[in-house]
Amino acid sequence: MANTGFCAFCCRRKWVKRDWAIATVAITVIIAAVIIVILFFTVFSDSRNRKTSSPTFAPPSAGDFVPLTLLQSAKATGAFCLDGSLPGYHFQKGFGSGSSNWLLHIEGGGWCNSIESCNSRKGTSLGSSNYMEHQVQFSGILSQDPSQNPDFYNWNKVKLRYCDGASFAGHPESEFKNGTELFFRGQLIWEAMMNELLSLGLSKAKEALLTGCSAGGLATFIHCDDFRDQLPKDATVKCLADAGYFLDEPDILGNRTMLAFYRDVLQLQGVAKSLQQDCVGRMEPVKCIFPQEIIKNVKTPFFVVNPAYDSWQIENILVPIGSDPQGYWSSCRLSIKKCDATQIKRLQGYRDAMLKALSMFQRNEEGGMFINSCFSHCQTSYSAWHSPNSPRINNKTMAESVGDWYFNRKESKLIDCPYPCNPTCNNDDYT
């Protein structure tokens, strides 16, 4: 008879006790492994697919995305975005020593100054929560990584989404009831946001910092004292505006383009009601929206972060569209590296105007500033805040300078030398 082979022999022989013991152990191990795998995928799948309509309270790890929360209470007060949708925010709960401290950051994104521009805007995330990202990554001053955000990493942090087109300062009395279906509710959104956050724990804050970038920086100027007034009297409350110090300067043709633009915004959305009323009573209301005027009467300690060669301001205030029909500035207005000597001289003049506008504030004992010589715009919510590649003044990053000011470690009023003296600048290039 032919040899049936080793496998056939094993299958036919009788199992002894040792064989049964080995088989029992093997089966037990396999079953345990299967159970572990099933549990892992069940938990993983559940955490990936779970949806909530309220803020996430478990502190996510550094670099995690933070979900959007729509402000349901806005329905009762009519605090709507331009298109009538609910406004939103992103909330990341603090932990450890930062669990009683709060940092609010107001998103930027320009303004709309006409029915046409507001109608266009309401079809974007800057006018409707229907277009907002469901999650955003917190970085820079919002980062939870202590190596990127040494002083505020474990605070409660909130990003307020911007969808009203007037720096949270519009009023419904100015809405057009002619079928345009635009909602000018910025002031109501600000109030509804504050009420929501106060109910989540902001009302018990020990330390708080209101910040904002660009149009959000302007909103920080406008609402800083109101923010202070709503928090406990014994809390340390301060404000910081990043790239929000917009100048009332003439463009290259001598026209006051920014003044005219802001005048349209004020008239369209009734913004004057949200500005300092003593200022509005003394001068043309539009002048009271410029930070140079607002900062004179802000009682809350304030910090100004702004590049002396603010790329947005160069492109929209100094050389706005239509001011350069021959195209002489077409490259320079988008990249400072492409400016010739004559253009650089004009940019130095804009820097001089920035420093002059800040001169009175520079004497404010409770104030702070970080005015670098970079061609950039918003800086605090990105890696420029505190990283190996951050712009520095006197070897200090923005984060270190702001921390020194906020915690009263030392005076922090840093003004950079003129371009191109600072090799740490990562200058924007929009060409």
Which residues are catalytically annotated? 214, 310, 377
| Residue 77 token pair | 């007060």
Cis peptide before 420 (omega within 30 of 0): yes
199 touches 218 (CB < 8 A): no
Residues 201 and 187 sit within 8 Å (Cβ to Cβ): no
- Whether residue 141 contacts residue 381, with contact meaning beta carbons closer than 8 Å, is answered with yes
CA distance linking residue 194 with residue 219, whole number of Å: 13
d(CA 168, CA 262) in angstroms, rounded, equals 14
Pick from 179, 182, 191: nearest CA to 164: 182
Q: What is the 3-state secondary structure (H, E, C) of the chain?
A: CCCCCHHHHHHHCCCCHHHHHHHHHHHHHHHHHHHHHHHHHHHHHHHHHCCCCCCECCCCCCCCEEEEEECCCHHHHCCCCCCCCCCEEEEECCCHHHCCEEEEEECCCCCCCCHHHHHHHCCCCCCCHHHCCCEEECCHHHCCCCCCCCCCCCCEEEEECCCCCCCCCCCHHHCCCCCCCCCCCHHHHHHHHHHHHHHCCHHHCCEEEEEEECHHHHHHHHHHHHHHHCCCCCCEEEEEEECCCCCCCCCCCCCCHHHHHHHHHHHHHCHHHHCCHHHHHHCCHHHHHCHHHHCCCCCCCEEEECCCCCHHHHHHHHCCCCCCCCCCCCCCCCEHHHCCHHHHHHHHHHHHHHHHHHHHHHCCCCCEEEECCCCCCCCCCCHHHCCCCCCCECCECHHHHHHHHHCCCCCCEEECCCCCCCCCCCCCECC
